[in-house]
A and B are shown apart, each in its own frame.
Chain A
């Protein structure tokens, strides 16, 4: 069974500071991993994804995430926060084979302080 845990439902950082959003997953098989961003009253936009290959994945808007199999983690980072990064961030996993649906974490709301 798949599950996703996002530590910290709310994270606040100062503008220009490092952003670190945590995601741990449990899966019986190596999963595909995703980070989505949701702005208020909007749908989800894909930030980045890991399928196979290089474990450090670069996404849009300067975000990146590293798949660490030994830690079952896929934390999202950005070196320098921008005001426009304020949003809700969701980590999601899916199986590589079989079921196609995504399992989402409960989300982390990022606030950027000027």
Chain B
């Protein structure tokens, strides 16, 4: 049973370019969460999605960031016009619909470097 998969594992972009980060949840999981980890910091919640719905985006920057989790395919975190401050590790986590403990299963992360 494959775990949460993220790709790419490393992404380098120049300022002003777009970054697309992909997350495939564990089989049977319909809830996806995105977190950002800045250097030397803990993970900060960004967005929580279920299939075709954004449930909570309270941690998402208001501009340039968007997320989706389509009916088919992986969840995508999209960052437009990247800036150096976007350099971070972006982690995706997933959970099944009815897991009472709120336990989340994390992917290996995508490390974004903005030059």
Q: Which A residues form the contact surface with B (CB < 8 A)?
A: 4, 6, 32, 34, 36, 41-46, 49, 51, 90, 92, 94-96, 99-107
Contact A43 B108 (CB under 8 A): yes
Q: How distant is A75 from chain B, measured CB to nearest CB, in Å?
A: 17
Interface membership of B69, Cβ < 8 A: no
- 5 nearest A-B pairs in the assembled complex, by CB-CB distance: A104-B42, A101-B45, A44-B106, A43-B108, A43-B106
The residue in B4, B105, B106, B109 that gathers the most chain A C-beta atoms within 10 A of its C-beta is B106
Contact A49 B103 (CB under 8 A): yes
Contact A106 B108 (CB under 8 A): no
Tell me which of A6, A100, A104, A107 contacts B102 (CB under 8 A). A100
Contact B45 A43 (CB under 8 A): no
Q: How distant is A56 from chain B, measured CB to nearest CB, in Å?
A: 17
Contact B108 A100 (CB under 8 A): no
Could you name 11 residue pairs across A and B whose Cβ atoms are closer than 8 Å? A34-B103, A42-B108, A43-B108, A44-B43, A46-B105, A90-B43, A99-B56, A100-B56, A101-B33, A101-B48, A102-B45
Task: Tell me the complex Cα distance, A34–B108, Å.
Answer: 18
User: Could you mark each residue 28-51 of chain B with 1 if its beta carbon is under 8 Å from any beta carbon of chain A, else 0?
Assistant: 000101010000011111001000
Q: How distant is B48 from chain A, measured CB to nearest CB, in Å?
A: 6
Residues of B within 8 A of A92 (CB): 43
Q: Which B residues form the contact surface with A (CB < 8 A)?
A: 4, 6, 31, 33, 35, 41-45, 48, 55-56, 59, 91, 93, 95, 100-109, 111
Q: How many A-B residue pairs have CB under 8 A?
A: 64
Q: How distant is A41 from chain B, measured CB to nearest CB, in Å?
A: 8
Given contacts A43-B91, A101-B45, 5 further A-B contacts (CB under 8 A): A43-B108, A90-B43, A100-B31, A102-B43, A103-B45
By beta carbon, the residue of chain A nearest B6 is A43
Task: Tell me the complex Cα distance, A69–B109, Å.
Answer: 33
Q: How distant is A8 from chain B, measured CB to nearest CB, in Å?
A: 14
Given contacts A44-B91, A45-B106, A101-B59, contact A51 B100 (CB under 8 A): yes
Task: Tell me the complex Cα distance, A107–B33, Å.
Answer: 19
